[in-house]
Structure 1
């Protein structure tokens, strides 16, 4: 189970949100008693990681949930729809999440790894190419296609990417 708080709904103040072992995300209002005011679609087997913050390039707070299946789901405030506004594949089971003051999303993975993601506008992020990576392995990690990455970055030779190169992941 995970817990966070943020300005997630219309109205004054912050609302607590929690992700349960049942795979649902809930937002609560505290008005003398805790009342559930939002329940998401089922996001997986559980939600061990949850954070809220302003991601780089976003104008509002985003509630981000991470799952043991290795997915991230984002809900932009005000959170009103049970389906997420965006979803991406992290590649490893997500255990912990945090948003930095600069809007970077940090995540801890079940294998002990740490990833830092920089989102670039709606539904995309920036990946920095590491030694040994190919467009095929990068596409598989994020659940997209090589062609989508090629198109998003106007790559003329898909066989020529370099460590340190920044790629937009659609």
Structure 2
């Protein structure tokens, strides 16, 4: 279903990666490493990378900081999307979203179901947009990060992808704020 229009030029996107974990440091952050490797291999730019504890306010503050930064187009977080008491990444993302991309979670669940069966119901992956910045919250497993990138984000963050993609509508994400 994913088609690349080779007549169009690739446009690199500036992506920040956020790992949400109470226990991982940079040396143990395999999921963050997976995302960084995949996005740079695809030709995109790593704008920033951080690791933050599972604290709703801290996560939301980091997201807001990146939204305010004109050098960040997209934020991908990994971790904290499960069902336990410490999993607050989804709530932090939703605190910040102007609009939720409802189908992102649905499509992620469809992709996950093909890989892990009914265990996919335990994921609360989400996507949204605020301040002209796309944000996606992925589970903390490397497999989930690979699946989300390889099956969804790789295509939607490629300007050449048809019939449509996230990159081509960047200029219109904040059109409601412009003076008429």
Q: With CA pairs under 8 Å and 6+ residues apart, which has the higher RCO, 1 or 2? A: 2
TM-score greater than 0.5 by the shorter chain: no
- TM-score normalised to structure 1 length: 0.27
Question: Looking at CA atoms only, which structure, 1 or 2, has the larger radius of gyration?
Answer: 1
Structure with bigger strand share is 1
- TM-score normalised to structure 2 length: 0.26
Structure with bigger helix share is 2
